[in-house]
Amino acid sequence: EEFIAVVPAAGIGSRMAADRPKQYLHIEGKTILEHTVDRLLDLPEITRVVIAISADDPYFSQLTLATDPRITVVNGGAERADSVFAGLAAINNDNAWVLVHDAARPCVRRADLRALITSAVNSDCGAILAAPVRDTMKRGHQQSAQAHISHTVERDNLWHALTPQMFRAGQLRQSLTTALAQGATITDEASALEFCGYTPLLVAGRSDNFKVTQPEDLALAAFYLQLLIK
């Protein structure tokens, strides 16, 4: 089997509101993107990483990653799904397993990657890392410019979708094509497969594999990365 990581890294990081896209902020001596790619290449079975970057990205070429023979760079698109699609276009083996992993999740652990790979290769159509929801969940509604509780959402069997999300390259490409052509809202890879009637597996992963999104997330990522790097 061939295992290829696809890393969407073409976002602008509007919620982080830093002087550059968040994947290029430095934590513990390296950019977030470099940490993320290092985590993936830490697994010997992952032999290649396809990174989707913005067409006018001035940062990537400065990194030592740019000359790593295991890395392929492609231009991403306007939405995350477009960037993933561009990454898939660089993979010609439809049978390859792709692990799509957000550039902004540098704290993913080897054990979770291994658990995902083991589950996915033994599944019908693939698997994603996910974390069971801990908090009581409320459905809200807006009323007089305030949010009111409408009701409590049953928490059993509710999960946070994380990444990596792992599918066969051809099946993911086909599902994204179908879902996007029919105007489905696609916020992760699994939703494209769901749209096409597949039922990917949920693999319980650690909640420290969170997506660095807002300024206060940087200190938390630094804390987890210190634990990981030793």
- Footprint of ligand CTP on this chain (CB under 6 A)? 8-15, 21, 23, 52, 76-80, 83, 102-104, 211, 213
Nearest distance in Å: CB 149, ligand CTP: 27
Nearest distance in Å: CB 95, ligand CTP: 24
Question: Which CB sits closer to ligand CTP, 31 or 119?
Answer: 31
Residue with tokens 């509604």: 141
Sequence-separated (6 or more) residues with CB below 8 Å from residue 59: 20, 21, 24, 31
Name the residue number minimizing CB distance to ligand CTP.
Answer: 11
Question: Which CB sits closer to ligand CTP, 121 or 180?
Answer: 180
Question: Which CB sits closer to ligand CTP, 104 or 225?
Answer: 104
The neighbour count for residue 94, using CB atoms within 10 Å, is: 13
Give the bridge partners for 189, in sequence order: none
CB 106 within 8 A of CB 27: yes
Nearest distance in Å: CB 159, ligand CTP: 18
Give the bridge partners for 114, in sequence order: none
Q: What is the CA radius of gyration of the chain?
A: 18
Nearest distance in Å: CB 82, ligand CTP: 6
Question: Which CB sits closer to ligand CTP, 149 or 219?
Answer: 219
Question: Which CB sits closer to ligand CTP, 70 or 211?
Answer: 211
CB 224 within 8 A of CB 208: yes
Nearest distance in Å: CB 17, ligand CTP: 8
CB 111 within 8 A of CB 39: no
